[in-house]
Every structure is written in structure tokens, then in C-alpha cells.
Structure 1
Amino acid sequence: MRGLKARWDGASPALKAFLLGIVLLGANQGVLLSTFNNYLADSFRLSASGRGFVEFPRELPGFLLIFVTGALASFRMSSWAVITGVLSAVGVAGLGWLSPSVAVMTVWMLFWSMADHLFMPVESCVGLALSKEGGKGRRLGQISGARNLAMIAGAALVWVMAPGGPGGYRWLYLVAGALALASAAAFSRVDAGGDRGGGTRFVFRRSYALFYWLNVLFGARKQIFLTFAPWLLVTKFGLSPAAMAGLILAANGLGVVFRQAFGAAVDRFGERRMFIADGVILLGICAGFALSSDLALLCCLYILDNLMFATRIARTVYLDHIAVDKGDIPASLSLGITLDHAASMTVPALGGLLWTAAGPQAVFAAASVVALAGLGAGLAVPRFPKPGLRADTLGLAEGAARSAD
């Protein structure tokens, strides 16, 4: 504890303010992520295919992110962070109090989702700005671990308030909205030396093609497990909001340590090995969900899949290593997220139709194909990535095309 206190005392004011905002926004995310499937089931009685189609508008802000960040390119990253807090507060409060129908709920969901997606490049860029050379994975892991710790608090809040039926979500989401507003206040105090909005509105380089492909694959893989793994647990096994919150609590409790360890492993072993490990582990998770009816095993695999979302740290460090210009990073991260969500927006609807036609086993069998593609992409990552280095195994040509104001 003394060592932790000494590290905190020695941290810069910018890092302290950013971590405080991360904790507040993370608690907000913990509430939403642990209840959203139950909220939809309790409030709107959606079918599996209906649940899949809801993911299209929920992922739309991620697809549009490249345009949003382009419009905000002249603003500092701390301003982006403030915007995320305000948008999340408005969206979450609307979900709880002003959603009499699926159509209206979708409008408020767009606010919340835009906040969620806009914060992704903010967390990565500010994290890189607040890190030292050779310790970027470690810093990103620390920030991600802090967010996980806060998500535990959010999931625990669900346990305490335990919504019983549609009306029970109102007060829970009102508290979550207040946390988001408080995060905006904290982010307004961030003043990082490397804080930049990007300057360049749009960047596309052919030498970044493998980074883009990794994001597409992650979008497909991510959405299968964000949508259909919890949906299987809720609809087939009858897990309650408190039980789902318990899984989120376990995943984020382990994630506090795991993400920091993962970030340190990226610094030590390199991104390539971490991508390969992720592909192998995902194959095992897909096999479990496709073949097993053991609830305990499926819950463990669900937690493991949540932990492996830490590969975002490896993608960010990989981009930092191959970036021809460090000013490319914010716009490139945003383009990566847009490509991620191009997959995220189509996979749930297709998965819902596949579920209806052939059952959940078919959905997770299809996910194994994505896992194999991810493993192949990991093998294509150079052992020592550097700016302009070509991924020959994918036939990706070196070169660049750039559009900027």
C-alpha cells in the first residue's frame, strides 16, 4: 500500500485527473454493461433476432466515429473527454426515464453509444501521451485496469439497487448519469503535455493495412460475444440482472490485474505474440460456447473472453510503433474503430438470423472462423514492427495515401 501511495503522490496532476475521470466513467459503464441485456428483455420483450437488430443503431456511432473525430480534430483530447461525459449522462438518463418505446429508446441509446465510442481514442491517445518510451503498454494497462476497477463498483451498484422489472432501471440509470457528469468535470482538469486532438482529420496509409484488418476482425469477434454470449446466458439459462452483474464483477475484478499484466507483456514480448495468443484462446472459447451446456464452464469462458478484450492495448502499441507520423495516431485509431464497427453493425443482425435458423451453436461455430482469421493476422505481424514495415505474408504493399485539411 505504501508503494501504491508513493506512486500516486508522484503522479502528475494530469494523470490524477484523467484517472479520476476514468473511474467515474467506468462506474457508469459498469452499470450499463451489466444491465443492458436485461433492460431490453424486461422493458421491451425482444426476441433473439430483435436483440440482434438493436445492435445496428447501437454500433452506428462507432462506424461514424471517423467523421465525428474529424469534426473535433482541432479540439484537445481533454475536450473530447468532457464531451463523452456529457453525452453519456444525457443518453443514460434518457434510457431510464424517457423510453416508452423501442424507437425512442434507440435515440437515447445513440447518445450513450456515441460517448462510449468517442472515449476509445481518447483513452488510448491520452494514455500514450502520459507514458514513457518502453512503458506504453504498461501505462495503457494501468489506465484500463483502473477503468475495470471502476466497472466493478458499477456492477456492485446494480447488486445493491437490484432492479426488479422495467421501473427498477430508472433510479439506477439516473445514478449512472450523475457519474458520467462528474467524469466530465474531472476530464476538464486534464492538461497533458502530449494532449492533442489530432490536427489531421483523416489518415489512410497502406502501410497501416494490417492494423485496419486487425480492427475489422476484432469488431466481428467482439460483437458476437457482446451480443450473443450474454443473450444465451439470459434467455437459455435464465441468469438474472444480479447474476449478469456478478459475471461482469468477476471479469472486471480479474481485469484490474490482468490488463496491467497484459500491457506489461506487450512491452516485454511484443504485439505479435499477444495477437497469436489471443487467436488461440478465442478458438477455445468458441468451441466451448458451441459445444457445451455446462453453465459454470460457459460463465468462465464469458469472463475469459472479457479479459481478452485487452488486446486493444496491443493494437494501440502496434500502431504507435508503425506510425509514420505520431500525428496520424488519433485519426488512425478512429478509422480503426470505424472499421471495427462496420463489422459490429452487420454481425449481430446476421447472427440473430443464424441463431433463429440454426440455433446458438451455429453462431459460435461461425465465430471460430473469425478466430482463425485473427490467428492468421497475428502471425502476419512483424516481430519488430517499425514505421513503413510491410506485412509481406498478407501481400500488403508499402505506401501511403493521406487526406488532410
Structure 2
Amino acid sequence: MLQGLRRPEILLLLLAASMPLSFAVWNTLLNNFVIDRASFTGADIGLLQSVREIPGFLAFLVVFVLLLVREQRLSIISLVATGIGVMLTGLYPSLTGLLLTTLLMSTGFHFYETLQTSLALQWFPKQTAAVWMGRMAAAGSFAALVAYGIVWILMDVVNLGYTWVYLIGGGATVIIALAAWVLFPQFPQPHSQRKTLVIRKRYWLYYALTMMSGARRQIFIVFAGFLMVEKFGYSVGEIAALYTVNHLLNLYIAPKIGQFIVRFGERRILTLEYIGLAMVFAGYALVESAVVAAALYIIDHLFFSMAIAIKTYFQKIVDERDISASSGVSFTINHVAAVVIPVLFGLLWLSSPAMVFFAGSLMALVSLGLAQLVPEQPGPGNEVKVGQYTEAI
């Protein structure tokens, strides 16, 4: 029975579940921790989040590390680095300390996310990749639920401090990653991967969608959670409860979204996502009710699974030998805006939090326009819808 479980799909599900055990703890505690222990302002949290995104901007370097370490092994090493970074977070409640521990955590996190995408696109068949990615998202949500339960029990019931909760959350990821190293064999790659940077003109729409997705993500990660704590006074327990609702819904919805992508295609799913996001961000800008803000936050989080459609669109158009190198490049592109937005919008936040979210609505509308260029049936030579008509003329 154990031998039957030692498959690439199971490994990816296990690794997908191990990451949230540390990152969800880090993310849940962050806003309260930096306000309670480090006296952060909006500008400080913007700086921290910009530093957090630097390793994402440098994710293209993964391709050079792969000259020395295979993808599967490097993904596990990256998880260990993530866990250690989270374990150290509670020990250094200062701006400098948090910048350093966040940099370590984020390097592991972003390298892992790059490699996870690459391995998934290589190991999952195109016909069912969206379904499997939905299952990975559900596995991550289940693990996040466990993490939020740990946060609630340790902080509200046992009354442990931030330091111990960070140690336990990060340590769980380290233990699972090391177990995966021991228990799973090295799986072969279906296609030999290029070990150089790959940037191709015909992938331009994928790059554009990826960059806008990174910008949108920052609005949620950096400022939506900060809004909950600063404006509406949410406690650690309430933030954890909000995340719990998000992931309970995601357990059911993420696999369904994978099925919907297979059934309806990437363009329709992305269109729905970006219309919804434009309305959600406008809602953040105008909301005065803590309950309505919570509802917007939950809806916002549910849209994340729809970004699977960007990955499956790329899987259908990419030269299979480009997957590893392109995954690193796309992560760098994803973080072009992510490095800039937190610090600049953090300064904007000081004068007008609403303008931060109105800018998010504008980003969603730009993404909506780009999504209309995704063909009904993407493939090599059919990467952009407008290209069909241009060639015909």
C-alpha cells in the first residue's frame, strides 16, 4: 500500500500541504505581531512586504541552482528554509530582525512555489492538470486549517506567546519536508529541461497575466489584512477565524474550479475572476462595516484558485523543455510589481487607504482586458486570440 502512495502526484500533494503549516502561521500572526511587538506603521509593513517579495523577483536564479540540484530535491530544501525562517521570526521583534527572518522565509517560499509549478506542469497531464492543481490548492487549504487551529489553541486557549507559535508552525514544515526527502524516490522528468533563462515573444500574454496577478495578490496579502486589524480592530483569534472560513470554503471550491477550467476553458474563468476582483477592491475602498469587510475578504480569497487557469493556459502553449526555466522567469515577472507596490502603496496608505484599493480595481480591469486575448483552445501557434485574426488578415 505504501508503495502505491509513492507517486509524483502524492508527493506534490504532501509538499503543498506542508507549506501552509508554516506560512499560514506567519501570515496569520504577522499584522498583530508587528503592531503589538514592533510598533509598525503602514510604511513599515509596506517595506517588510517589499523585502519579502525580493526573492520572488529573483526566482529566475532557480534555473542556475538546478545545474547543481535536481528540482525535486531543491523543492524540499526550499521548504526546510521556509520553515526555519518562520521558526526564527518570533525571536526578533524589530524592523531589522523581521526583515532578515522574512528574507530567509521568503527565499524558501518563492523557490518552492517556482519549483512546485514547474513539477506540476511536467508531471500532470494537460487534460487533468487543472483538476490536480485544484486538489493541491485544497490540500493547502486543509493544512492551513490545521495551522489556524493551532494558532487559536496555542494563543487563545493555552496562552502561549508569539515565539512558541512561530517555532511550532515552522518546525512542522521542516519535519514534513525531511520526511518527504526520505520516503519518496527520485521521480524522472518526462522531458529534459533547458538550464538557461528562457524568454519567448510568443509567451507575452502569459507574462502579462502573470505580472498583473502578482500586483493583484499584493493588494490582498499586504493591505486587505492590514485593513482588518488597523481599521476594524480584528484580533489574532478573529483573523485566524476569518482565514479558517476562507480555507473551509476552499476545500470544496478549489477542486471544483479545476473542473470548471477543464469544462469551460481558461478565458471564461479568468473573465469571471477579474470582474469579481474589480468589485471586491472597490468594496474595500468604501466599506465601513467590519462584517461587510469580512465578507469581501472571504470572496477575495476564493478568487485565488481561479489563477490556476493562467498556469494551465501556459501548459498548453509552452514548449515542454521550457517549463523549468520559464517557471523561474514567470515568477520573477510576477514579482516585478510585487517588489514596488507594497512600499509605494504603503506610503499612499498613510494619506488614503481607499486609493490603494481603487488602484486594485483598476489593475483587475487591465487583467480583464488581457484575459479576452486568451484563445478558446490555446496551443503552440495559437497563444493569443488576436493573433488568429492578424494572421488571417
Is this a same-fold pair by TM over 0.5? yes
Q: Once the two structures are superposed, what CA deviation does each residue of 1:347-394 show, in whole Å capped at 9, x if it has no partner?
A: 11121122212x211111111110110100111111111113252649
Alignment of 1:129-278 (within 5 A): 129-162=122-155, 168-188=161-181, 189-194=184-189, 198-278=193-273
Is the Cα–Cα contact under 8 Å of residues 84 and 116 in structure 1 kept in the other structure? yes
CA distance 1:360–1:21, change in 2 (3 Å): same
- For residue 344 of structure 1, the aligned residue among 334, 338, 347 is 338
Distance 2:337 2:291 in 1: 30
State how far apart, in whole Å, the 1-side matches of 2:388 and 2:65 are.
33
- Counterpart selection for 1:377 from 370, 375, 378: 370
Deviation of residue 135 (structure 1)? 0.6
Change (3 A) 1:163 1:396: farther
Note if contact 2:127-2:262 (Cα within 8 Å) is conserved in structure 1: yes
Q: Partner of 2:90: helix, strand, or coil?
A: helix
Given the superposition, is the C-alpha separation of residues 247 and 198 from structure 1 closer, same or farther in structure 2, using an over 3 Å criterion? farther
Whether 2:362 is the aligned partner of 1:365: answer: no
Give the letter for the 2:216 counterpart.
R
What TM-score do the two structures reach when normalised by structure 1?
A: 0.89
Over aligned residues, Cα RMSD in angstroms? 2.5
Residues 86 and 107 of structure 1, relative CA distance in 2, 3 Å threshold: same
The code of the aligned residue for 2:326 comes to: S
State the one-letter code of the partner of 1:272.
Answer: R
The aligned amino acid for 1:360 is P
Report deviation, 1:397. 9.7
Alpha-carbon distance between aligned partners in 2 of 1:268 and 1:175, rounded to the nearest angstrom: 41
Q: In 2, are the aligned partners of 1:126 and 1:192 still within 8 Å (CA)?
A: no
Structure 2 unmatched ranges of 5 or more: none
Deviation at 1:19, TM superposition (A): 2.5
**Partner Cα distance (2:222, 2:389) in 1:** 32
1:35 Cα deviation from its structure 2 partner: 1.2
1:73/1:243 CA distance change after superposition, 3 Å:
farther
Shift of 1:75: 2.8
> Which stretch of structure 1 is more off in the superposition, 311-320 or 144-153?
311-320
Matches within 5 A, 1:23-38: 23-38=17-32
Q: Which amino acid aligns with 1:318?
A: Y
Please state how far the C-alpha of 1:216 moved relative to its aligned partner. 1.0
CA 1:313–1:392: 2 relative to 1, 3 Å: closer
8 Å CA contact 1:30–1:153 kept in 2: the answer is no
Q: Deviations over 1:144-200 (max 9, x none)?
A: 110111011001111011179x98111111111211211321331253343779432
Question: In structure 2, what is the Cα distance between the partners aligned to 1:396 and 1:373?
Answer: 21
- Superposition pairs for residues 51-66 of structure 1, below 5 Å? 51-66=45-60
In 1, the alpha carbon distance for the partners of 2:249 and 2:189 equals 30
**Structure 1 residue 37: Cα displacement:** 1.5
| In structure 1, distance between residues paired with 2:388 and 2:330 | 20
Of 121-130 and 241-250, the range deviating more from structure 2: 121-130
Match of 1:110 in 2: 103
Residue 138 and residue 223 in structure 1: after superposition, are their counterparts in 2 closer, same or farther (change >3 A)?
same
Match of 2:66 among 55, 72, 76: 72
Asked if structure 2 preserves the Cα contact closer than 8 Å seen for 1:58 and 1:109, the reply is yes
CA gap of 1:368–1:240, structure 2 versus 1, over 3 A, is same
Identity level (%): 30
* CA contact 1:321–1:387 (8 Å) conserved in 2: yes
The match for 2:86 is: 92
Alignment-mate amino acid for residue 260 of structure 1: P
Deviation at 1:74, TM superposition (A): 4.9
Give the SS at the match of 2:119. Answer: helix
Q: Please give the alpha-carbon distance, in whole angstroms, between the structure 2 residues aligned to 1:150 and 1:197.
A: 32
Equivalent residue letter for 1:151:
A
- Residue 287 of structure 2 is matched in structure 1 by 292
Letter in 2 for 1:342: V
